[in-house]
Structure formats: structure tokens, C-alpha cells
Structure 1
Amino acid sequence: MIKCLEDLRSGIVEPSALVSAERTKRAYNLQLSKYRDIESVHSSGVNSLDLDVVEKHYLLSGCADGTVYIHDLYNFTGLPQYTSKLICSVDKTSRSAHQYSVECVQWYPFDNGLFVSSGMDKKLKIWDANCLKPAEQICLEGRIFQHHMSPIGSKQCLVAVASSASEVILVDLKSGCYSHELRGHTGSVLTCRWSPREENIVATGSCDNKVILWDVRSSKCFLKSFCLYSTDNQSGSQLTSTAHDGYVNGLCFTADGLFLLSYGTDNRLQLWDAYTGENQMVNYGDIPNRTKKCVQFAVSVNTNPILAYVPSEGNIFVFELHTGLKVKTLLGHYSSVNGCIYHPFLQEVYSAGNDRNILLWSADTQGLIYDEHTKSQVPVKSDSLRSVYYKKNVTLDTWSSDEDS
């Protein structure tokens, strides 16, 4: 690290290269945090997580008993030991709560004063986060497995809804009504994701084993249907190709929107070029996936290479995105993991499972320095831990003052 800092000061290394290297190192070295955790308050399995887009300050979670919780992630104590406290919740006894399981929660992308929840009671609710009361409630025909809002949709406020109906419903937040339907799937739609690059592009995965890419400006036909066994992906109104040999219950775009990762009950991950629809033929191996509902997984941001964090039963597998190399397995949950999200500022992962826990995975070495007296690593009380480490250890003069030596 000292050599990197010297190269940075002399101009040999660009600042962005050093930042990328540090982010990548942290993303590779995640482990169950020994010093920080999330307050355990959930009374049932946790199905979905989301971080507010504006500040990455608040963690939103939805549970199988219809409850919704918000935790404060910021640590202002200066201590490495910290528990993120619950700040508010929608209890299952509340008249505003979902009647059945909450399958998906998401913050409004441009303001953390709003969030959206949906679930098995066939209702999509838009909440005022300040008073925790629904500002709008929309009833749909099918059980909702996932919804998603575009992170860059500045001209439209559409929510894509994946449900037990074969149509993908687009709900306009401004009017509180259906905008239009995307028809092309022949089975229940389990997952949907907007592109982080093109605000009118949305991808959907279904029980018909298909992954379809849509342009919502034209709902009569889709852009393309990804094909597992051929690079000749279909477009228009012809729909015979499949992306998996099982249900597609997970989708995730890379941060630049150039690639789409799909997850299926055939125990496979598939990586696709989001523009050409070409299968990148990356072999991630066998990844057990037996759930018949949406699985939330994540990819790292601004790291080289990009890493994918994929829940599989009670584990989280970490893969290099473009090579398929399995980096490590994160162990800690006592039951099935339903989803995980990546914190781009802190290079941390938060995971949720049926064991009613939210676990925090981080590179905990940032909170340690080497104590010369005890000859061991100890936690320190400082916000700039790394600088303390250098001052106490790396910059020490190691020359002997013994003239006889």
C-alpha cells in the first residue's frame, strides 16, 4: 500500500486506479462482520432488502408476515463495534400492513421519503416514509413476486410488476393507474428489472423459462427473447426460445447496464449481452436453486473484475462475473437465503433469510491495527483507521541505534 501511495504522489498511478484496487480488495475479502451487525427484530423470514439510492443510509426490509422494517446503517460513534438500530416499522397489527407476505420492497429512486412494497395479497403500496402510511394502494389480479422502478427514469414514474399473471403490469405512480401491459410470457412472471443505462428498457423472467427484453415505448412486441442454445436471439412477435431449462426467478443488470445476469431453477446462472442478447457462455457450475419465487442477488460496483453474490439455499456464492471463477462461499445463515444487496460506498453485502436475520458481510480488517506490546491485532477507536495504522507501524524507523551492531 505504501508503494501505491508513493506512486500516486509521484503521478505514476492515477487516483481512480488506486480507488478501484482498494474497492476490489474489499469486495474479494468479505466475511461475516465481527464488529458490526443489524439489530435483530424480525418476527418471520426476511424476503427482500433495499438501500435508499440517495444516501445509502437506510436499509429497508420486507418480511413473510407482512411487516416492513427500516434500519439506520450510519455509525457516528467512532467505534468499530456498532449495531444498526431499527428506527421505524410497519407492524403486522397495523391496519396499513400487508395481509400476507411482503415479497418485494424498494425505495423511490430519487427521494427517500417514499418507498414501495408488494406481496402475496396482490397489492402494491406506495408509502410515505415520514409517517409510515400508504399514500396510494393499487390492487392487481395476481400475486406479486417482484416490482421494480427505474433508477434513471426521469421522464416517467413507472413501476414494473411481476406477478402470477402472465402479463407484466406497468403502474404509473403519478396517476396511480395501470399504464399498459407487456404481453409475451405464457406463465407467471417471477422477476423484473429496469436497465440502469436505458430508462425505457426492462427485462423480465418467467415460469415459461424465458427472459424477455422490452422497450416500454412499444408494448405490442418485445425487443428480444434470450436463447440458451443459440446466439440467434428472436425479436418481434416470435417467441419460442428459452433462456433456462427451468423457471427464471432472478435477474440483475451490471451497474453499466451492458450485461444481464439471469438465475434459474435449472441451477444455472447465465450471462447475457444486454444489447445483442448473446449468451456469453460463462460456466458458473451447479448452483442449487429450488425456490419458486423471486431470488434477489447482486453484483459489485466499480471493481475489477466484477463480482456476483448469489444466494443458494443457506449460502451465498461469490463468482467473478466474466470468468465464472468461484471466489468463495459466505456461510452464516441457518436457513435459506432469500436475497442480498451490495453497498457500493462501503463495499459491503447485506443478506436476508428465512432464519429471520439480516447479516452484514464486510472486510473487517479496516478496524484493526497491530499492537506492538501484545503482538496482535486490536480494534481502534478512530474514523480513519487506515491512517492510524500507517502512523503507528509502517512509518516507524526500523534502523538500530546500537553502535556496536
Structure 2
Amino acid sequence: MIQFLENIRAGIVQPRALIRAESTKRSYNLQLSKHRDIENVHTAGVNALDVDPMEGKYLLSGSADGSLHIHDLHNFTGSPHFTCKLICKVDRNLRTAHRFSVECVQWYPFDTGLFITSGMDKQLKIWDTNCMRPADMFDFEGRVFQHHMSQIATKNCLVAVASSVNHILLVDLKSGSCTHELRGHNGSTLVCRWSPRDEFLLATGSCDNKVLLWDIRSSKSCLKSLDQHNGMGRSSSEATNTAHDGYVNGLCFTHDGLFLLSYGTDHRLRLWNTYSGTNEMVNYGRVPNDMKKCMQFDITVDSDPKLVYVPSEGNIFIFEIQTGVKVNTLLGHYNSVNSCIYHPFYHELYSAANDRNVLIWTADHCQGAAYDDYLKSQNQNTEPYERRIFVRRNVVADTWSSDEEG
């Protein structure tokens, strides 16, 4: 660390290099935090998580019983031993709550005053955080598995909705109506994700084993149907192209938007080039996945190489994206893990599972010991007030020596 700072001062390396090196070190060394935890208030399995992108301060979670919770992640105590407290919730017994399981939650990208939830009651709700009541509500024909709003959109205010019907719906929050129906899948749509690079590019996954890329400005069908064989399989027809040999229930773009990761019930992860649509043929091995609903996984932001955190049954696997090398396996949950979210400010991971726990994975396992040593040294060096020696200085007096005069 000191050498990095010295090199930055001397102009040998760019300041960004320090951020990348520290992020990489933390991303590779995540462990279950021994000093920080999330207040356990959930009464059912936790299906979805999201950290607000503006301040990185609030953690939003949705449960299988329809309840919603918001925890404060900031630690102002000065001690590494800290419990993130619940600051507000929507109880399942309230009339405004979801009647069934909450499958997806998301903060409004530009303001923590709003957040969006959806679930098995076939509803999408836009919540006012200040009063914790729905500001608007949308009803759909099928159960909603996932929704997503672009983090970079400036010309639209669209929310993509994947549900048990065979088309993707785009809801405009400004007009309060459905503006698009994207038809191309032959089965229930399970996942949808906007590109972090192009505000008009949308990726969707379905029970028909396909991953489709859409440009929502086009009146034609989808841009690409991703083919796991890159056109070298049994058929080159786009109608029969499949990205997986099972349901596609997880999608995630890299932070630069150049690559897309897909996760399927064929127990495979696949890496795709976003612009060419080709399979990069990276072998991640077998990643057990038997869930018939959306799986939320995440990718690091500043680390080099980039890592992906993938929930698999009761474990969380860490892979290098470009090589497929398994870096580590995080063990801590007692039941199936449903969601992983990476905090880009703290470089730590939050995971939620059917065991009703939300866990924090950090790389600060050495900070607690260092803090304890610091306190011990402070206690040993303390002396009575009257025995301390103070040096009084006159801040306005001239301190030049006589030798330097003339």
C-alpha cells in the first residue's frame, strides 16, 4: 500500500491502479464477516437483494412471505463490530404488501426515494420510501419472476418485466402504461437485464432455453438469439438456437457491458460477447442449479481480472470470468442461496437464502485483530493527567535562529 502511494506521488502509476489493486485483493479474499452482520428480522426465506446505487447506504430485501425490509449499512460507531439495523419494513399483514412471495426488488437508480418490487401475486409496485406506501401499481397476466430498470437510461423510464407469459413487457413509469410487448420466446420468461453500456439493449432468458438480445427502438424481432454452438451445432437456424440445454434463470452483464453471463438449469455458466453474440467457450465446470425461478448473481466492478459470485444450492462459487478458474467457495448458509449482490463502494458481498439469513462477506478479517491491538496499546500507554508533559509553543513567535540572519 505504501509503495503504491509513493509510486502515485512520483507519477509512476495512475491513481486508478491503486483502486484496481485494492479491489482485486478484497474480491479474492472474501470471508464471512466476523465483526459485522445484518439484523435478523426475516420470518421467511429471502429471495432478492439490492443496494442503493447513489449512496451505497441502504440494503433492500424481499421475502417469500411478501414482506420488505430496509437495513442501514453505514457504520458510524468507529468500531469494526457492528450490526446493520433495520430502519423500516413493510409487514406481510399490511393491506399494501404483496400477497405472495416477493421475487425481485430494485432501488430507483437515481434516487433512494423510490424502489420497485414484484412477485408471485402478479403485481409490480412502485414504492415511496418516505411513507413506505405504493405510489403506483401494475397488474399482469402471469406471475412476475424479475423486473429490471436501466441504470443509465436518460431518454426513457422503462421497466422490463419477465413473467410466466411468453413475452417481455416494458412498463413506462412516466405514462403509467405498458408501451412494448417483446415477442420471441416460446415459454415463460424468467430473467431480463438492461445493458449498462447501451440504454436501449435488453437481454432476456426463458424456459425455452434461449437468451435473446433486443434493441427496443426496433420494430422488428430480436437482434440476436444466442447460440451455444456458435453456428456449428445441429442446426444453424435462429429459430432453433439455444443458449443452454435447460431453463435460463440468470443473466448478468459485466460493468463495461462488453460481456454477458448466463446461468441455466443445465448446470452451466456461459460467457457471451455482447456485440458479436458469440459464445466465448469458457469452461466453468458444473455449477449445480435446479431452481425454476430467477437466480440473482453479480460481478465485481474494479477488480482485474473480474470475478463472478454465483449462488449454487447452499454455496456461493467464485470464478474468474475470462478463464473459468474457480477461485473459492463461500460456505455459511444452511439452505439454498437465492441472491448475491456485490457492493461496488465497500467491495464486499451480500447473500440471501431460504434459511432467512442475509450474510455479509468481507475481506476485513484482519482489521478486527488490528483494532483490538490498537485499543490494547492505547490502554497500556495511558498515564495520569498530572504526569503528562506538555510542550507549550507560541504560534506567532519568530523561530528563526541567529545563524540564519543576514
Partner of 1:185: 185
Distance 1:378 1:30 in 2: 21
Map 1:186-335 to 2 at 5 A.
186-231=186-231, 238-335=238-335
CA displacement at 1:218 relative to structure 2: 1.8
Instruction: Say if 1:219 and 1:104 are closer, same or farther in 2 by CA, change over 3 A.
Output: farther
Instruction: Say if 1:138 and 1:21 are closer, same or farther in 2 by CA, change over 3 A.
Output: same
**Aligned 8 A contact 2:31 2:365 in 1:** no
Distance 1:74 1:18 in 2: 23
Distance 1:334 1:188 in 2: 30
CA displacement at 1:7 relative to structure 2: 2.4
Partner of 1:113: 113
CA displacement at 1:4 relative to structure 2: 2.6
Structure 1 consecutive aligned stretches of length 4 or more whose deviation exceeds 3 Å: 377-381
Matched, 1:82 2:82: yes
Distance 2:209 2:345 in 1: 35
Instruction: Say if 1:6 and 1:71 are closer, same or farther in 2 by CA, change over 3 A.
Output: same
CA displacement at 1:246 relative to structure 2: 0.4
Q: Name the amino acid aligned to 1:79.
A: S
CA displacement at 1:18 relative to structure 2: 1.6
Q: Name the amino acid aligned to 1:209.
A: N
CA displacement at 1:231 relative to structure 2: 4.9
**Aligned 8 A contact 2:33 2:365 in 1:** no
CA displacement at 1:380 relative to structure 2: 5.0
Distance 1:126 1:267 in 2: 34
Distance 2:203 2:373 in 1: 45
Distance 1:196 1:253 in 2: 7
Partner of 2:49: 49
When the two chains are superposed, the root-mean-square deviation of aligned CA atoms in Å is: 1.5
CA displacement at 1:238 relative to structure 2: 4.5
Partner of 1:378: 372
Q: TM-score, normalised by structure 2?
A: 0.89
Distance 2:129 2:227 in 1: 41
Q: Name the amino acid aligned to 2:372.
A: V
**Aligned 8 A contact 2:299 2:307 in 1:** yes
Distance 1:349 1:69 in 2: 18
Distance 2:318 2:59 in 1: 22
Q: Identify the range of structure 1 (4-13 vs 73-82) with the bigger mean alpha-carbon deviation.
A: 4-13
Instruction: Say if 1:161 and 1:135 are closer, same or farther in 2 by CA, change over 3 A.
Output: same
Q: Deviations over 1:66-87 (max 9, x none)?
A: 0010000001111100000000
Distance 2:20 2:369 in 1: 23
Distance 1:277 1:368 in 2: 46
**Aligned 8 A contact 1:57 1:74 in 2:** yes
**Aligned 8 A contact 2:19 2:302 in 1:** no
Instruction: Say if 1:45 and 1:379 are closer, same or farther in 2 by CA, change over 3 A.
Output: farther
For structure 1, the 5+ residue unaligned runs are 371-376, 382-405
Partner of 2:367: 367
Distance 2:104 2:320 in 1: 27
**1:222 counterpart SS class:** coil
**2:223 counterpart SS class:** strand
Q: Deviations over 1:39-73 (max 9, x none)?
A: 00000000000011111110000000000100000
**Aligned 8 A contact 2:158 2:170 in 1:** yes
CA displacement at 1:220 relative to structure 2: 3.1
Q: Name the amino acid aligned to 2:239.
A: L
Q: Deviations over 1:219-272 (max 9, x none)?
A: 431010100012589xxx942200000000000000000000000000000000
Partner of 1:386: none
Matched, 1:123 2:123: yes
**Aligned 8 A contact 2:259 2:272 in 1:** yes
**2:249 counterpart SS class:** strand
CA displacement at 1:9 relative to structure 2: 2.6
**Aligned 8 A contact 1:115 1:126 in 2:** yes
Distance 1:363 1:379 in 2: 18
Distance 1:196 1:288 in 2: 28
Distance 2:251 2:221 in 1: 20
Q: Name the amino acid aligned to 1:378.
A: D
Partner of 2:96: 96
